[in-house]
Chain A
Amino acid sequence: MGRLKNKVAIVTGGGRGLGKTYCLRMAEEEAKIVVADILDREAEETVSEIKAKGGNAIAIKADVTSEADTQRMAEETVKKFGRIDILVNSAGYYYGMVRKPFNEVSSEEWDKAMLVNAKGTWLCCKAVFPQMKKQGKGKIINVSSEAVFAPTKGFIHYTASKAAVIGITRVLAGELGQYGICVNVIVPGVVDTAATRTYINIEKFDIGSVPLGRVELPEDVVGSVVFFASDDSDFVSGQSLLIDGARRVH
């Protein structure tokens, strides 16, 4: 039996990259998946793949920076599947980002990173909260970045927004514990995805800095998502877990 049987999970940014991998693995664990993405064609593609393997999923087009969209996302989920057990806040402003020093990042780039990564995460939590509260249990999994735990060069807006996600996680853990809602944050390293390849030559990545000796793949992250989504972590909340082959320790 799947470890997420009868649970309903919303994954933002589920149309591609890491978010898509989370959808596929949670579907294997028998969760019903809501693939929420601003890219509706990609979201439909993820749904097709889940269904081809016998899973249950729907796609919802949603811009996480729009409160109306996030509310509709939660409403449509409840209408379709009757509940919301898991929210994975994987949507992020990352694809196509350029590694610039802090004084070359524009005000618009800064605002966009904070809007999508920080405010979007908060808005999605706000949207699912009433339903999770009603159920007396819930799991929210936010996505930060190893960049926060490293002397990162460049990406100050991205890194600041991913540090903000840790703040959001801690406050929500404090505020939502009384309703049985656990809020944790996973922290992947440099993962080999199409988005990562827009700013780095992954073949030249210094794997000597990774004790486990190789570049990280999307599949490396999914086990931690399932852990935080499952009953195995029912007394774990407010925590940040790095998944990066021990490159950084926390």
Chain B
Amino acid sequence: MGRLDGKVAIVTGGGKGLGRAFCFGLAKEGAKVVMAVHRLDEEATKAAKEIETKGGYALEVDVTKEEDTQRMAEETVKKFGRIDILVNNAAYYYGVGRKLFYEVSSEEWDRALAVGAKGAWLCAKAVFPQMKKQGKGKIINLSSETVFSPTKGMIHYVTSKAAVIGITRVLAGELGQYGICVNAVAPGFTDTAASRTIGSIEKFDVSSIPLGRVGVPEDVIGSVIFFASDDSDFVSGQTLLVDGARRVH
């Protein structure tokens, strides 16, 4: 028996990298997964077909558009009858580049904050009425180890991921009365195609990681399942780093 049998989960940015790993990890525990992707390109379409074979469903959503997020919630309820879990994973990260703070353009800044921060808020807003009706819910936001480090570059990305922690804390305060738990997971530098646009995995200084290796998407799944499952029903407002102990919080 799966730990998420009978639950319905939405994962934004679910077509690639970490998001895709979360989709299949949640499905393996018995959840019906809605894979929300920005665009059903070749890679996402392949993932979408695969999640459908596991009883899931895929749709296109721009998380920066309120009407898109509302439609995402409506389609989920129409398709599966409920929403138990939301994983806010969509981010402006792929190809973001490691630019110094004065090299980041105003447009890049706005884009990072729109997807990473506003997008998480809009998706939470969209699923809230249904979770409130159910009297229970789990929202898992993706932050980043970069927030806990003296990171060089990517100020817009890091700022958006710090904002996610603020969103997590306020929502934990406001939604606790409805039995909705809101937590953040902060992965370290994880070996994905997106990370490889930022830096070389092979050249990453693994001696800075006590557990001695660069993280892979599978390392993060267990923590997402924990926050999605009943095991964390009295945990809310918290931020958990998943980074091999490179930073401690």
A-B complex is real:
yes
> Is B244 located at the chain interface by the 8 A CB criterion?
yes
Q: Which of A229-248 contact B (CB under 8 A)?
A: 230-246, 248
Q: Which of B147-176 contact A (CB under 8 A)?
A: 168-169, 172-176
Q: Tell whether, in the assembled complex, residue A230 and residue B222 are in contact, meaning their CB atoms are under 8 Å apart.
A: yes
Query: How many A-B residue contacts, CB cutoff 8 Å?
Result: 132
CA distance A39 to B179 in the complex (A): 38
> Is B242 located at the chain interface by the 8 A CB criterion?
yes
- Interface residues on chain A, size class: 35 or more
Q: Tell whether, in the assembled complex, residue B245 and residue A237 are in contact, meaning their CB atoms are under 8 Å apart.
A: yes
CA distance A210 to B237 in the complex (A): 11
Q: Tell whether, in the assembled complex, residue A182 and residue B211 are in contact, meaning their CB atoms are under 8 Å apart.
A: yes
Q: How close is A65's CB to chain B, nearest CB, in angstroms?
A: 26
Q: Tell whether, in the assembled complex, residue A220 and residue B234 are in contact, meaning their CB atoms are under 8 Å apart.
A: yes
Instruction: Enumerate chain B residues within 8 angstroms of A199, measured Cβ to Cβ.
Output: none
Q: Which of B193-249 contact A (CB under 8 A)?
A: 209-212, 215, 219-223, 225-226, 229-245, 247-249
Q: Tell whether, in the assembled complex, residue A220 and residue B238 are in contact, meaning their CB atoms are under 8 Å apart.
A: no
Q: Tell whether, in the assembled complex, residue B176 and residue A223 are in contact, meaning their CB atoms are under 8 Å apart.
A: no
Pick the contact of B238 from A236, A238, A242 — CB < 8 Å? Answer: A242
Instruction: Enumerate chain A residues within 8 angstroms of B225, measured Cβ to Cβ.
Output: 232
Residue in chain B with minimal CB distance to A183: B245
Q: How close is B249's CB to chain A, nearest CB, in angstroms?
A: 6
A interface SS class = mixed
Q: Tell whether, in the assembled complex, residue A211 and residue B236 are in contact, meaning their CB atoms are under 8 Å apart.
A: yes
Instruction: Enumerate chain A residues within 8 angstroms of B233, measured Cβ to Cβ.
Output: 220, 223
Q: Which of A187-211 contact B (CB under 8 A)?
A: 210-211
> Is B105 located at the chain interface by the 8 A CB criterion?
no
Q: Tell whether, in the assembled complex, residue B242 and residue A236 are in contact, meaning their CB atoms are under 8 Å apart.
A: yes
> Is B177 located at the chain interface by the 8 A CB criterion?
yes
Pick the contact of B212 from A175, A178, A241 — CB < 8 Å? Answer: A178
> Is A173 located at the chain interface by the 8 A CB criterion?
yes
Q: Tell whether, in the assembled complex, residue B220 and residue A235 are in contact, meaning their CB atoms are under 8 Å apart.
A: yes
Residue in chain B with minimal CB distance to A250: B238
Q: Tell whether, in the assembled complex, residue A246 and residue B173 are in contact, meaning their CB atoms are under 8 Å apart.
A: yes
Residue in chain B with minimal CB distance to A226: B231
Instruction: Enumerate chain B residues within 8 angstroms of A240, measured Cβ to Cβ.
Output: 248-249
Residue in chain B with minimal CB distance to A232: B222
Whether A224 touches B239, Cβ cut-off 8 Å, given contacts A177-B211, A249-B172, A250-B249, is: no
Q: Tell whether, in the assembled complex, residue B235 and residue A233 are in contact, meaning their CB atoms are under 8 Å apart.
A: no
Q: Which of A151-180 contact B (CB under 8 A)?
A: 169-170, 173-178, 180
> Is A212 located at the chain interface by the 8 A CB criterion?
yes
> Is A44 located at the chain interface by the 8 A CB criterion?
no
Q: Which of A26-82 contact B (CB under 8 A)?
A: none
CA distance A174 to B127 in the complex (A): 39
> Is A130 located at the chain interface by the 8 A CB criterion?
no
**What are 13 of the A-B contact pairs (CB < 8 Å)?**
A182-B245, A211-B174, A212-B176, A212-B179, A222-B231, A230-B222, A233-B222, A235-B220, A237-B244, A238-B210, A238-B241, A242-B237, A246-B238
Task: Give A residues with C-beta under 8 Å from B.
Answer: 169-170, 173-178, 180, 182-183, 210-213, 216, 220-224, 226-227, 230-246, 248-250
